[in-house]
Amino acid sequence: MKILVAPDSFKGSITAVEFCEIAEKVIKRVMPETDVVKLPLADGGEGTVESLVSNTGGRIEKAWVMGPVGERIEAFYGILGDETTGVIEMASASGLPLVPVEKRNPMKTTTFGTGELILKVLDEGCTHLIMGIGGSATNDGGAGLLQALGFELLDRNGKQIAWGAEGLLVLESIKMDKVDPRLQNLVVEVACDVDNPLTGPNGAAAVYGPQKGADPVMVKTMDSALGNFAACIQKDLQLDVAGLKGAGAAGGLGAGLSAFLKAELKMGFEIIRETIGLDERIGEGFDLVITGEGQMNSQTLRGKLPIGIARLCKKKGIPVVAIVGSIGNGIEHLYEEGLTSVFSIVNGPMALEDAMQNSDALLSDTVERLMRLVQIYSN
């Protein structure tokens, strides 16, 4: 029997690589003759760098950059096996978990460190950049990132605006005389799985601001700031980002990357699929595919990795089982897309913290239960 293990990470507890290692160990224990192929994946969020690096024979590098509240932190980026493609998770430098709850203020947090990571990728000689932009602590439209790259975002007095959304309130003009010239040859793909516009009731500030520490007054102020940002882009670059789908992703970073770096916003799964040649890898005669993610629910249908895997396998007639942290509402619709069954690792009533702390053991037990069932049909 030949089994492909191709999961996403369980955010904050099990990485995709760890999932694969645990699953292989259990499968081999239950069915020693099984050929197990490990393919740790991601869909643009946590684990994207690790997944792409591990699947292309690349490397992970560390770098000291500016964190979201101005302190120096150690972040990371990846260089893929072709040595011309860099991959960044913006959360590594500008993510919400980097900011203590009492310091969360998206009026001031900055994406400057993510811009510094882009400079590191350019220093490596890369001409292609893949960016995952989930999990941001910011609402600055990517202004800090742009400043790190040499863009001048100026107020009415010709001075650089302050970090954070508050700086965008006084933005008057954008100058590009000092921009790093290497950006002209950089092709940027952005993993963006949301379609929020930049402003308005479904925009960056209104939808995502509260989870980053914004109160209702701040949300309105930040929405105005992003509106001013869009107006300046329209005036100085003759580009309309206000209605762009995905412009509101990561606190407006989708808009900034699209306007200034000519980035293409794509579904994260599609970027992974193309980069590692996933269609060809799944076409290697597998009898079963095991995938997974932290929580499976109706949102999984919106391009999350397990449903992407299921759709590919459906075309090839391969059964797909998902092992997940928890099961939410709406998963019945996933079966129509090629998913065979879903198993939760939670084996009884327990707090989320307990489940996360014991996720390795819970996953191991769940894989064993699955494989003992598979064993019946393999004899």
DSSP string spanning 293-323?
Answer: EEEESGGGGTT-HHHHHHHHHHHHT--EEEE
| Tokens describing residue 205 | 């500030």
Give tens-digit pLDDT for 261-312: 999 999 999 999 999 999 999 977 899 999 999 988 887 877 789 999 999 9
Q: How confident is the model at residue 200 (pLDDT cuts 50, 70, 90)?
A: very high
CA dihedral over 32, 37, 42, 47, signed as positive or negative: positive
- What is the Cα–Cα distance from 31 to 378, expressed in whole angstroms? 10
The CATH 3.40.50.10350 domain(s) of the chain lie at: 2-41+289-378
Contacts of 88 (CB under 8 A, 6+ apart): 49, 77, 78, 114, 117, 118, 121, 129, 130, 131, 132
| Tokens describing residue 106 | 């998206």
Mean pLDDT of 177-189: 97
- What is the Cα–Cα distance from 48 to 67, expressed in whole angstroms? 20
- What is the Cα–Cα distance from 191 to 14, expressed in whole angstroms? 21
Give tens-digit pLDDT for 329-361: 888 889 999 999 999 999 888 888 888 888 999
Contacts of 274 (CB under 8 A, 6+ apart): none
Arch. (CATH architecture) of 48-266: Alpha-Beta Complex (3.90)
pLDDT at 318: 96
Give tens-digit pLDDT for 236-262: 999 999 889 999 999 999 999 999 999
Would you call 342 helix, strand, or coil by DSSP?
strand
Mean pLDDT of 65-82: 97
Give tens-digit pLDDT for 202-230: 999 999 999 999 999 999 999 999 999 99
CA dihedral over 244, 269, 264, 113, signed as positive or negative: positive
Task: Answer yes or no: is pLDDT of 379 > 80.
Answer: no
How many beta carbons lie within 10 A of that of residue 280, not counting itself? 8
The CATH 3.90.1510.10 domain(s) of the chain lie at: 48-266
| Tokens describing residue 29 | 């224990």
Residues 128, 121 contacting (CB under 8 angstroms): no
pLDDT at 157: 96
pLDDT at 328: 87
Residues 91, 46 contacting (CB under 8 angstroms): yes
**Residue 85: which of 125, 51, 123 has the closest Cα?**
125
pLDDT at 301: 79
User: In the β-sheet with 320-327, what is the strand arrangement from edge to edge?
Assistant: 35-38, 2-5, 288-296, 320-327, 341-344
As a three-state string, the secondary structure of 197-253 is CCCCCCCHHHHHCHHHCCCHHHHHHHHHHHHHHHHHHHHHHCCCCCCCCCCCHHHHH
The predicted model scores a pTM of: 0.90
The answer to whether domain 2-41+289-378 has CATH 3.40.50.10350 is yes
Residue recorded with tokens 């329209």: 234
